[in-house]
Amino acid sequence: MSPTRQNKKINFEKQTVLKFLASCKENNIAARGEKILLAVSGGSDSIAMLALASKLKNTIAAAYIDHRLRNAAGEEKAFVKNLAKKFKIPFYTKSFDVARAGRSGKSLEDCAREARYKLLGEICKKHGFETIFTGHTLSDNTETFFLKLFRGGGISSFYGIARKTKIFGVPVTRPLLDFERDELKKFLAASKLLFMTDESNKDRKFLRNRIRLNLIPFIKKRFGKSVLKHLSALESQAEDLNALVTTASEELEKKSKNGKLDNSVYLSYNKFLRKCFLAEFLGRKVNSRYIDKIDGFISSGKGGVFELRDMDLTVRKGKLHKRRKT
């Protein structure tokens, strides 16, 4: 490699590190002295996160969660363990039979997500970690936008992946939301760091994969990357709207008892906000078509029954009752 090309790689590596540190500072990602558990799968995003997080002045460790779904999990686990050893940080791992849990009626994706965060939370509690870092990127944000669009999400659901949130009571932080996936792969190449590829990410039977592999490249090629930047701006506006909806929904939830919606509060809002609040009240488990129907029954004082994947809804004389399935 010529000196010029070598210098470009070194400069790109340094620029990426500086961008990461600046983003962490701007978004208050890592408090001084905070112990951070990195959720590392072995893929490019999480490996880049590990390398970049090692530049923080925080105690960090890597964790790999095995869902027992793929034969490659053993190889991935060993890969992440060796990488943690290279960076001289602790390594933790837990496993869970997601396929068996999936028989309860929930999708494998939902079961895997719940298991992952529960097990990461257990590691945090046992070893004193205060937050979990995940490798979600700006590219994931874009994919999620289209995923919600195609599944019938309302306007308030188009907010991006939260930079900071709590899942099962454990703080979760996404430090890579300012980075495109390709940008991180270039950083790994410049840093001479390898990563593993999950073959299931190429399976087009999954909607997210079709969005990633077909739709987004088509948009970039035919309409330019600026379109995706406009989507990012829309997501930011939706996030502001979501903050409003969440605050009001919390108040609505407090006044609603035993799964019964407080109609006096609910009907005091205009139709758009009512539907936003209803979606929040139902845990975002209903698409916009059902939201319209339920709102119509409540507003008109009529009745109806709705069966969701893990919840039964009944509207009697305009009063909504929700009951979780056991």
Q: What is the pLDDT of residues 277-321, one digit of tens each?
A: 777 777 666 667 778 888 888 888 877 787 766 667 788 777 777
In whole angstroms, give the CA distance from residue 170 to residue 189.
33
Check whether domain 3-223 has CATH 3.40.50.620, yes or no: yes
What CATH fold (topology level) applies to the domain 228-324?
Chorismate Mutase Domain, subunit A (1.20.59)
Cite the residue boundaries of each domain of the chain with CATH code 1.20.59.20: 228-324
Domain with CATH 3.40.50.620 in the chain: 3-223
DSSP 62: E
Q: Which residue has the tokens 């590190």?
A: 17
Distance CA 9, CA 17 (A): 12
144 and 161 in contact (C-beta within 8 Å)? Answer: yes
Report pLDDT digits (tens) over 142-201: 898 888 888 776 665 677 788 898 998 899 999 999 999 999 999 999 999 999 987 777
Q: Which residues contact 243 (CB under 8 A, 6 or more apart)?
A: none
Measured CA distances, 168 to 38, 50, 51, 122, 125 (Å): 17, 23, 27, 10, 12
Structure letter (DSSP) for residue 104: G
Res. 61: pLDDT tops 60:
yes
In sequence order, the 6+-apart residues with CB closer than 8 A to the CB of 205 are: none
In this model, does residue 72 exceed pLDDT 90? Answer: no
